[in-house]
Amino acid sequence: MSDSAMTDLDRRVLEDISRDFPVDEFPYCVLAERFGSTEMDVLNSVLKLRETGAVVRIAARLNVAEITFCSLLEEEPDATGPAEVRPVGAELSCEEQELAALLQDDLPWSEHPYAELAGMLSMRGLEVDQEWVVGTLRAWLKSGLLERIAAVQD
């Protein structure tokens, strides 16, 4: 998007979400309050930034050095039978592992992205809701497992 095609709100939104996308059940409300705008105007601005290619995706930056996944398996030979498979490092619960995996993709481009993430996890058979997703992400931010969620510019 050419700089001349951007509104003042577009520029402010782009600058802000490139640093930090809110971890809140209503992230566009949070942004709207920052800019003295409406939730719908901010959402439309973000969608416009995406459509024009100014923002490629909204991504989570996980501190993968701090995360161990149960899905990493180590085999130990057993002389009396087949190899026993045991999980290596169980720092994250199954639900948290699935959330971390989903965060490797683009954050959903919707009014309630964290509710959509909860829905995706529910479709995988996990009993979580938007409140759990937001709470988990906030805890990860506090602990350093999640560095930030932010827009990636072209």
Structural domains of the chain, ranges and CATH numbers in brackets: 8-153 (1.10.10.2890)
CB atoms near residue 105 (< 10 Å): 12
| Predicted local distance difference test score (pLDDT) of residue 92 | 82
pLDDT category of residue 73 using cuts at 50, 70 and 90: very low
Contact assessment for residue 47 and residue 35, using Cβ atoms and an 8 Å cutoff: no
Asked if pLDDT for residue 142 goes beyond 70, the answer is: yes
Residues 26-49: tens digit of each pLDDT: 999 999 999 999 999 999 999 999
Residue 4 contacts residue 109 (beta carbons within 8 Å) = no
pTM over 0.75: yes
- Tokens standing for 102? 């989903």
| CA gap 85, 131 in Å, rounded | 34
Q: Return mean pLDDT, the chain.
A: 84
Secondary structure letter of residue 67 according to DSSP: -
